[in-house]
Chain A
Amino acid sequence: MAVMNIREAILRTLHEEMERDPDILVLGEDIVGGNGTAGGPEAIGGIWGTTTGLWEKFGPNRVIDTPISESAIVGAAAGAALAGKRPVAELMFADFVGVSLDQLWNQMAKFRYMFGGKTKCPAVVRMVYGAGMQTAAQHSQSVYALLTAMPGLKVVLPTTPADAKGLLTEALRGDDPVMFFEHKALYGVKGEVPDGEYRIPFGQARMVREGGDVTVVACGRMVNFAEKAADKLAAEGIGMDLIDLRTTSPMDEDAILDSVEQTGRLVVVDESPPRCSLAADIAALVSTRAFTSLKAPPEMVTGPHAPIPFSRVLERAWLPSPQTIEGAVRRTLAFR
């Protein structure tokens, strides 16, 4: 076991997997960082530090700095995957999914089904998401619900360095397109990471806490916020089952339903607006499949139906927080 942060876990996994599998290539904007400049390639080595050193080790055929062209980046990944390679495309910000959406939505996601199961499309699209750093309406969004809704895509959101390694390895070994979400506020989160080969199957949630009084389901950074609320509530003797989904497609429905059958109370935390959200999806799952277990209406903790604002106070008001999660837990416990 080595201790490292999520950024390092992703970087090391890419290095190790590219060494293992010569079919893996990575492409994206500034992932080499310095091409065509006096400083030379690798002058910067990637904006996020998750691709540093790859170009030097694997060369320009496998590590491709692209112009600013998200449609072409994602489309090229789709094509390379159809042609038998294992591309890893990087979107500098998940918001830029908007630019490349057709290549994900109408193309990559549907190839296998449209072609009668004859093909596979093992492309990984890594993208940096999340609010909390005042990056405003076009650089802060958590677009996982949109992609979770699309049949054919798998959606992954690691919250620990070990999960980052295990889930990225799984993505690179699998044969389906995977949307790999990296929260910009979680890159520095440290933890132990298993040595050697380490895979985490998709569709298996992580039980972060077992407390028994209320079920809290979250993903991404909202797991950390929920943990803070859990600490506060634990001091008062309130126990939380905290479920980190890890993947929203496929989703570990059993973990959610099993827990709610015990607690009878559900709080879902989702870093996105409420309409057609993950929160709404899970509330519906529990309402339809565990109705008789419920002792209180499901609580959804989400942002408002609004874009993400720039101003610090407005952004704070927009985002779910440990306090709003705590409030939702108290409401559901108080329901009679």
Chain B
Amino acid sequence: MLQLGHDALLGAYRRMSTIRAFEERLHDEIKTGEIAGFTHLYAGQEAVAVGICDQLTVEDKIVSTHRGHGHCIAKGCDVKGMMLEIYGRAAGLCKGRGGSMHIADLDVGMLGANGIVGGGAPQAVGAALAAKMDGKGRVGITFSGDGACNQGTTFEAMNLAVVTKAPAIFVFENNHYSEHTGFQYAVGTAQDIASRAEAFGMKAWRANGCDFFDTYETFRELLDYVRAGHGPAAIELDTERFYGHFEGDPQRYRGPGELDRIREKRDCLKAFRTTVTEAGLLTGAELDAVDAEVLALIDEAVAEARAAADPDPATVADDVYAEYY
């Protein structure tokens, strides 16, 4: 917390608030039936995406998941371009071809959300090996869930990173569920994911993913370590997802009062506000002003996306190859 100045703090809050507002608005808009397909909301996990991506440069690469909106916003994807994409419009970040699950923006180092659970981890190692070739201290980061940590691809990627000393970072967002199954059931290593990374031979950290400052500071240490050339590292973040697995999920797997409790006790935005106002670093009025700007931006993004043009059906088979075909 002490490392961050006024503007950095306000910026971090703006990005977390943007993710929250983006997702809450989607939760409402999906009910209108205008957005089809699968949409997985990131609300509740904002401190992870922002606490990590705020410390990266554009040249550092991230690989995301099916629950990717937060990673996109934190890494700097255009919010309006994302909304257009989720509405399947021609002006969307991926021309409407990808949708919510496949948003990518290579210009900001966001190598793609991924509909295949566990699909991204090896790619982050590849990005890390590319960074190693360039020798500028850049890193490749994969975000994975407590579910994705059970895929063979994740294991293979961890071992490959260790044996090649790749500057790869494995971020495990443990929100306690993979779809409707609890991590207590599905993760065999005594309910601990970070120890898997340790078993593969890399250093691992653990942090409270609902606390921006804990996430930020713990990741700072990890990032310094990886940038210094020690090879890969991992971090497990204990976090919460505030909505269902996908929109429309009845969530009968939750305990009584669970959602109210996590929204009350584990809301990273509320916690951030309390911390910075009590420490006198930011005022409530400054934060309120950010929230209002964010809401206005999301309103505009939705209005523009709803009014935007669909792709031309004649382009359906464009963009399959980079070269002549």
Q: Which residues of A are in contact with B by a Cβ distance under 8 Å? A: 29-30, 33-40, 43-44, 47, 65, 67-72, 95-96, 98-99, 133-139, 304-307, 309-314, 316-318
Q: Would you call B116 and A95 a contact (CB within 8 A)?
A: yes
Q: Are B317 and A43 in contact (CB under 8 A)?
A: no
13 A/B residue pairs, CB under 8 Å, sorted by A: A30-B180, A34-B180, A36-B185, A36-B186, A37-B182, A39-B255, A47-B180, A95-B115, A96-B116, A307-B320, A311-B89, A314-B97, A314-B316
Residues 280-325 (chain B) with a chain A CB within 8 angstroms: 310-311, 313-317, 320
Q: Report the Cα distance A29→B177, complex, angstroms.
A: 12
Q: Is A138 within 8 A of B311, CB to CB?
A: no
B220-254 toward A: CB 8 Å interface, digit per residue (1/0)? 00000000000000000000000000000010111
Q: How far is the CA of A211 from the CA of B282 in the complex (A)?
A: 77
Interface positions of B from 149 to 207, Cβ below 8 Å from A:
150-153, 177-188
Asked whether A38 lies within 8 Å of B183 as measured between CB atoms, the reply is no
B209: chain A residues at CB < 8 Å are none
- Report yes or no: B252 in contact with A44, Cβ–Cβ below 8 A: yes
**Quick check: B253 and A311 within 8 Å, CB to CB?**
no
Q: What is the minimal beta-carbon distance from B202 to any residue of chain A, in angstroms?
A: 21
The A contact surface, by secondary structure, is: loop
B interface SS class:
loop
Cβ-neighbour of B38 out of A34, A135, A318 (below 8 A):
A135
In the complex, the 6 A-B pairs of residues with the closest C-beta atoms, listed nearest first: A36-B185, A36-B182, A38-B255, A310-B99, A311-B88, A138-B115
Known: A307-B97, A317-B314. 19 other contacts (CB 8 A): A30-B179, A34-B182, A34-B253, A37-B177, A37-B181, A38-B258, A39-B254, A44-B253, A68-B117, A71-B152, A134-B99, A305-B317, A307-B320, A310-B37, A310-B99, A310-B101, A310-B102, A314-B88, A317-B316
Choose one: B96, B115, B150, B152; the contact of A137 (CB below 8 Å): B115
Q: A71-B152, A311-B99 are in contact. Are A318 and B316 (CB under 8 A)?
A: yes
> B118 within 8 Å of A by Cβ?
yes
- Check A313–B317 contact: CB distance below 8 A: no
Contact B185 A311 (CB under 8 A): no
